[in-house]
Amino acid sequence: MTWIDLGNPTPRPSPLPYIPFEWPTGTTTQLSPPGVLELPNLVEVFNSRRSKRSFGLVDEKQLSNLLWLCCRIQGNIRADLGFPLSLRPCPSAGSIHPIHVVISLPEKPGWMRYDPLEHALVTLPDSYATSATARLNADSIVPSEAGVVLMFAAEPGKTFSKYADANSLVWRDAGVLLGYFSLAAHALRLSFCPLGVTGEPWAGQLDKQGRLVGVGLAIVGSCS
């Protein structure tokens, strides 16, 4: 077995201020916060969750509920890292949250970025080619059908600003976020399947300066 040593993360004595990637502007679709959600209890969710591989159309309300439960920003914290820390449902090393959720809808070309502060979807200009090839790659593993493809695009520079040897922290953040999506999707009665691929090279192609990297791909859809 070959094991790649990712190092042992430790907080830096002094942070290295980092200027975050500035996402391009695009058409914004404001999502509505959910009202009172009638969800099964946590024990039932844990006992019955399974990956599902049949994906119907997801409406805007269902997608909004999923994103709201997993990764909306509930509050910001000032920090000396060059960007604010944030409080969200999902935990993250140092409250940094370096992973962006990028979405490919079956009925719309291109990628859309989830804005966790505004709870909105923002189209990414000129991203049709990367979205189309990512969906084709996903389809070669598990047919996405009418489902939504989720890509996790990490910005490792944010985590490295606070921690030395931060590689494993970014990957652990990705795994935790994927687990949250898996449980939340099941609670919302949606089909969900994480894929083994990372989302590269498509995530990296969203920033020509190389600040983004793919750390996960998944498909979510309504249950047929």
Spell out the domains of the chain, with CATH numbers in brackets.
48-222 (3.40.109.10)
Cα–Cα distance measured from residue 213 to residue 156, given in angstroms and rounded to the nearest whole number: 8
Cα–Cα distance measured from residue 111 to residue 115, given in angstroms and rounded to the nearest whole number: 13
Q: Model pTM?
A: 0.95
Angle of helix 60-71 relative to helix 167-187, nearest 10 degrees, comes to: 140
Task: Give the model confidence (pLDDT) of 96-152 as tens digits.
Answer: 999 999 999 998 889 999 999 999 999 999 898 899 999 999 999 999 999 999 999
How many other C-beta atoms are found inside a 10 Å radius of the C-beta of residue 121?
Answer: 25
Please check the confidence at residue 192 and state whether its pLDDT lies above 90.
yes
Task: Give the model confidence (pLDDT) of 56-93 as tens digits.
Answer: 999 999 999 999 999 999 999 998 999 999 999 999 99
Cα–Cα distance measured from residue 168 to residue 174, given in angstroms and rounded to the nearest whole number: 10
| Among 214, 187, 209, 210, residue whose Cα is nearest residue 199 | 214
Cα separations (Å) of 24 from 18, 101, 124, 126, 127? 18, 15, 7, 10, 11
Q: What is the pLDDT of residue 121?
A: 97
